[in-house]
Amino acid sequence: MMSKPLVGVQDYEREARWRLPKTALDYYQSGALDEVTLKENKEAMDRWYIRPRFMRDVSKRSLATTLLGHKVAVPFGVAPTAMQRMAHPDGEVATARAAGRIGAPFTLSTISTFSLEEVAMRAPNTLRLFQLYIYKDRELTASLVRRAEAAGFSALVLTVDAPYFGIRRADVRNQFTLPPHLRMANFQSDEAASNHLHTSDGGSGINEYVASLFDPTLTWEDVAWLKSITKLPLVLKGILTREDAILGVEAGAAAIWVSNHGARQVDGVAPTVNSLRFPHPLFPDGGPSRGGGGSE
For ligand FMN, the closer CB: 109 or 186? 109
Q: d(Cα 226, Cα 139) in Å, to the nearest integer?
A: 12
CA proximity to 110, closest of 143, 68, 76: 143
* Least CB distance to ligand FMN at residue 126 (A): 17
Q: Mask of contacts with ligand FMN, 264-283, x by CB under 6 A?
A: x-------x-----------
Active site residue 196: no
* Least CB distance to ligand FMN at residue 279 (A): 21
For ligand FMN, how many residues bind (rule: CB under 6 A)?
15
∠ CA(202), CA(178), CA(235), 5° rounding? 105
For ligand FMN, the closer CB: 26 or 149? 26
* Least CB distance to ligand FMN at residue 82 (A): 4
Q: d(Cα 265, Cα 82) in Å, to the nearest integer?
A: 14
- In this structure, are residues 274 and 44 in contact, taking their beta carbons and an 8 Å threshold? yes
For ligand FMN, the closer CB: 81 or 115? 81
* Least CB distance to ligand FMN at residue 137 (A): 18
Q: d(Cα 203, Cα 15) in Å, to the nearest integer?
A: 28
Q: d(Cα 257, Cα 76) in Å, to the nearest integer?
A: 12
Q: How do strand 65-67 and strand 70-72 relate by DSSP bridges? A: antiparallel
Among 32, 38, 72, 82, binds ligand FMN (CB under 6 A): 82
Give Cα 75 distance to the centre of its chain. 16
Restricted to residues 11-70, the positions that interact with ligand FMN (CB under 6 A) are 28
Q: d(Cα 220, Cα 225) in Å, to the nearest integer?
A: 9
Among 111, 151, 185, 235, binds ligand FMN (CB under 6 A): 111
Does 126 bind ligand FMN (CB under 6 A)? Our answer is no
Find the catalytic residue in 70, 181, 261, 280: 261
Length of the chain: 296
> Which residues are catalytically annotated?
261
| Residues making contact with ligand FMN (CB under 6 A) | 28, 79-82, 109, 111, 131, 159, 237, 259, 261-262, 264, 272
